[in-house]
Amino acid sequence: MTQPERYLMRHGETQSGNVFRGSLDDELTTRGWQRMWASVAALPQSDWVITSPLSRCRLFAEAYGRQHGIDVEIEPLLGELDFGEWEGRSSADIYEDDPLLLEAFWNDPRQQAPPGGEAFADFERRVLTAWHKIRNRTGERILVVTHAGPIRVITLNERGLPFESLLQLPIGHGSVHHFKIVD
């Protein structure tokens, strides 16, 4: 029997540009769509698609599902970290207002949440709850369309990497991260 495979895909470039978007529901640019289609073209066809409910993930997942005649499941727990008051703002803009707070967040998001944002421990717990359900499905090849934050949390968990490497993981727009499930 072959090992179950999971492909985690980050959404493509969005219309809001390089800002903290978290729970903002912005859509993909044309380039974002193109990058996602190019990325999945190299993958074996999935048996199932699971997606974050946000448009930048969901709309692509639904189009992929229609194209391949496969079911799409929306998983709310796969949403990005809620950045609170930082949503829609760039790092440069936030740094101008409060460089120490932004640096504290970058240095240890477990200890410093964005103002009015989600605590990292809560984010991590919800993402891993969703991941364990997805991971434990047997005999399926699953495409998971989500965000950089959830992919980072899942990658650390699966690969046993130290938390300090969280923000060093390259998770580009439209990138795909492959996991063979071994127990």
Whole-number Å distance between alpha carbons of 71 and 88: 32
Segment 79-92 shows an average pLDDT of 96
Q: Band of the pLDDT at 139, cuts 50, 70, 90?
A: low
pLDDT of amino acid 137: 84
Between 148-159 and 120-135, two packed helices, what is the crossing angle to 10 degrees?
Answer: 70
pLDDT of amino acid 94: 96
What's the total number of domains in the chain? 1
CA angle 139, 140, 146 (to 5 degrees): 145
Residue 72 structural domain: 5-180
- What CATH number should be reported for the domain holding residue 82? 3.40.50.1240
Segment 42-53 shows an average pLDDT of 94
Higher per-residue confidence, 1 vs 100:
100
Whole-number Å distance between alpha carbons of 119 and 69: 38
Mean pLDDT score across all residues of the chain: 94
Q: 178 - beta bridge partners?
A: 7
pLDDT of amino acid 3: 79
Please, are residues 153 and 167 in contact by the beta-carbon 8 Å criterion?
Answer: no
Q: Band of the pLDDT at 17, cuts 50, 70, 90?
A: confident
Q: Band of the pLDDT at 16, cuts 50, 70, 90?
A: confident
Helix (H) or strand (E) holding 144: strand 141-146
Is the pLDDT at 1 greater than 70, yes or no? no
Segment 93-104 shows an average pLDDT of 95
Contacts of 134 (CB under 8 A, 6+ apart): 6, 50, 75, 142, 144
Segment 74-82 shows an average pLDDT of 97
pLDDT of amino acid 140: 85
Numbers of helices and strands, H then E, in the chain: 6, 5
Edge-first strand listing for the sheet containing 72-74 = 72-74, 48-51, 141-146, 5-10, 176-180
Closest to 38 (Cα-Cα) out of 13, 15, 75: 13
Please, are residues 79 and 147 in contact by the beta-carbon 8 Å criterion?
Answer: yes
